[in-house]
Chains A and B, each alone.
Chain A
Amino acid sequence: MTHTITSIREALRAKRFSAVEVTREALDFAERENPKTNAYLMLCPERALAAAAEVDRRLAAGEEAGALAGVPIAVKDVILTKGVRTTCASKMLENYIPPYDATAVERIEAAGGVIIGKTNCDEFAMGSSNENSYFGPVRNPAALDRVPGGSSGGSAAVVAQGTAVVSLGSDTGGSIRQPASFCGVVGVTPTYGRVSRYGLVAFASSLDHIGPFARNVKDSATLLGVMAGHDPMDSTSAAASVPDYAAHLDQNDVRGMKIGLPVEYMKHATGETADRIYEAIDKLRAMGCDVRDVSLPNTDYAIATYYVICTAEASSNLARYDGVRYGYRSADPGDADSNKLFAMYRNTRGESFGAEVKRRIMLGTYVLSHGYYDAYYLKAQKIRALIARDFTNAFQSVDALVAPVSPFPAFRLGEKVNDPVSMYLSDIYTITGSLAGIPCMSVPCGTDSGLPVGLQILCNHFEEQKMFRLAHAFETS
């Protein structure tokens, strides 16, 4: 499907097709194409067709059908959908049926959006390649022997493949921007707290975000606008009002906009990926932007800082999976002399978490354990403050920053799977923005070795509108 949110809106208005018809088309196409990529874990035709029928009813009655009327949308399988299985791509939650909807999902359906299925991802959103899924890896639609990136690999792939018009992902350290870059689509991580995390299965609570994937900047802005805004169900949700992100994108002018290029990022950038970024900068200059070097001096400490904080939070959040209230329970009763309840906890967790999830639980437990808390966790939180301060300082002199998303394009399946350190290092450019909680996005800017490359745009807290203006101008010029 090559539809956009705008093209579906116009077609529905002109009665060229109904919401039910476009939904059926999307479901059929997704079912046919999915074996190539394994991007969907599940389609939910019943829920989708009911939502589409409601859109058609509203249209026939002359009611407002909503900003996403009839748009087929895929949702990462770490976001809860009431009555529709939500697995987090884990054996632990293989049969979990949520009793409620995430706020983002509720808002999408209230705006006429049609959720057609749940997408594959790294288990509990932990990974950079989508190879950590219990249900098998996702293949990149741009090159089927390559990874789609991660952790939201399925959500990026369905949009690239055209089996959904837009999709939802989650981002903790780059899990939206990196797969968007690898698959050649637009991916947005909003300001921390801009979109409610209610119903997003927790990985690292101080870093988790929900955000959109789309094939163009305007669609990503529309989808973010529907989801954004205060939610009493999430105590970290921001109260600031939500501007109309998609409005006036076509009449914007970015002449005179001041753009910073972090020197610490570019010193590591090599090859064709770096060439594409420098070409993007030339293009921004030609558009009238004022591009200058800026310094983010604490960048080199970001990866270590991030992996201390995210694993600490993950080990705490994943303690809830104990085989009692939901999820898998081991049938192994343990040794005759062991405490039966603790044996059940240990066997349940040992049998149903994958290798990367176990690794992060272990690291997080270690850095939080007695005698190491101050040296690792508290220290990392202080360095996180320094990294955030780097951005605050930079945004005093520039409107936006541009950078690569990833040091390299999509790698081959299996290429990095046995080297966790190298896998973690690939997150270098996305982690800093996540730690600072600022809005950032990936917008396609060409290819490296024939594979998609994304340009990252970062702005200050709550300046999504400025970020979308720049991204849209870049995309259309």
Chain B
Amino acid sequence: MRLTEKDVRYVAALANLNLTDAEIGHMLQDLDGILAQMDALAGIDTQGVEPMAQVLFSSEGDADGTATLRADVERAPLNNELAVQNAPVSGGGYFKVPRVIER
């Protein structure tokens, strides 16, 4: 095993993801199996290879034809009503969240 239950709980906390004890158990098995496949990458020689973060910006791709910046022109944003219409809880044109600072 590459991972322990403690690792899985740590990663779940980083991801802000509440997992049940049963889910932690399954996740441990699944992640371990998948990481075993991923570990094959370690042995590959990538000396001097630039990481490819984007398809058309790689050192070997053709950068022509890909615009990176749009013209800096003002445009109307979503209005307030539309911006909050999908919020689970809103009021007065704001998103409402549980109390963060206790008085």
Contact = CB atoms under 8 A, between A and B. Distances in A.
Interface of A: 95-97, 99-100, 192-193, 206, 230, 232-233, 235-240, 298, 301, 303-305, 307-308, 315, 319, 322-329, 333, 339-347, 349-351, 353, 355, 358-359, 361-363, 365-367, 369, 375-376, 378-386, 388-389, 392, 420-421, 424, 436-437, 461-462
A347 B61 contact: no
Interface in B1-36: 7-8, 11-12, 14-20, 23, 26-27, 30-31, 33-35
A385 B19 contact: no
Contacts of B89: 329
Nearest to B45: A386
Interface string B40-53: 11101010011111
B14 A379 contact: no
Contacts of B38: 304, 307-308, 367, 376
B27 A206 contact: no
Contact of A382 (B50, B66, B70): B50
Contact of A420 (B30, B42, B52, B100): B30
Given A362-B15, A385-B58, A462-B65, A327 B88 contact: yes
Central interface residue in B50, B52, B82, B86, by most chain A CB within 10 Å: B52
Central interface residue in B15, B20, B95, by most chain A CB within 10 Å: B15
B97 A304 contact: no
A375 B67 contact: no
Contacts of A421: 33-34, 37
A420 B33 contact: yes
A348 to B, nearest CB: 8
A68 B50 CA distance: 43
A322 B68 CA distance: 29
A383 B41 contact: yes
A376 B44 CA distance: 12
B83 to A, nearest CB: 7
A353 B54 CA distance: 28
Given A193-B55, A239-B65, A362-B27, 11 more contacts: A233-B70, A238-B65, A298-B44, A326-B86, A340-B98, A346-B17, A351-B18, A361-B15, A379-B44, A424-B34, A437-B56
Contacts of A324: 87-88, 95, 97
Given A308-B41, A461-B61, A363 B55 contact: no
Per DSSP, chain A at the interface is helix
A240 B65 contact: yes
Contacts of B85: 97, 99
A131 to B, nearest CB: 16
A100 B78 contact: yes
A380 B68 CA distance: 24
Interface residues of B, number: 61
Given A340-B98, A376-B41, A424-B34, A232 B71 contact: yes
Nearest to A323: B88
B60 interface: yes
Nearest to B79: A99
Contacts, number: 194
Contact of A346 (B18, B53, B84): B18
Contacts of B41: 301, 304-305, 308, 376, 379-380, 383
Contacts of A319: 15-16
B74 interface: no
B33 to A, nearest CB: 5
B86 A382 contact: no
Contacts of B60: 385, 388-389, 392
Central interface residue in A95, A239, A358, A380, by most chain B CB within 10 Å: A358
Contacts of B55: 192-193, 206, 236, 388, 436-437
Contact of A325 (B19, B34, B71, B87): B87
B46 A379 contact: yes
21 contacts: A99-B83, A193-B66, A238-B65, A305-B41, A307-B34, A323-B88, A324-B95, A325-B95, A341-B99, A347-B18, A349-B17, A353-B17, A355-B26, A362-B27, A365-B11, A376-B41, A379-B44, A381-B53, A382-B52, A388-B61, A436-B55
B40 A315 contact: no
Contacts of B84: 325
A362 B11 contact: yes
Contact of A349 (B18, B35, B37, B42): B18
A281 to B, nearest CB: 28
A416 to B, nearest CB: 13
A362 B87 contact: no
A368 B60 CA distance: 25
Nearest to B16: A345
B86 A97 contact: yes
Central interface residue in B16, B20, B68, by most chain A CB within 10 Å: B16
B61 A437 contact: yes
Nearest to A207: B55
B32 to A, nearest CB: 10
A40 B72 CA distance: 40
Contacts of B30: 359, 420
B70 to A, nearest CB: 4
A279 B15 CA distance: 48
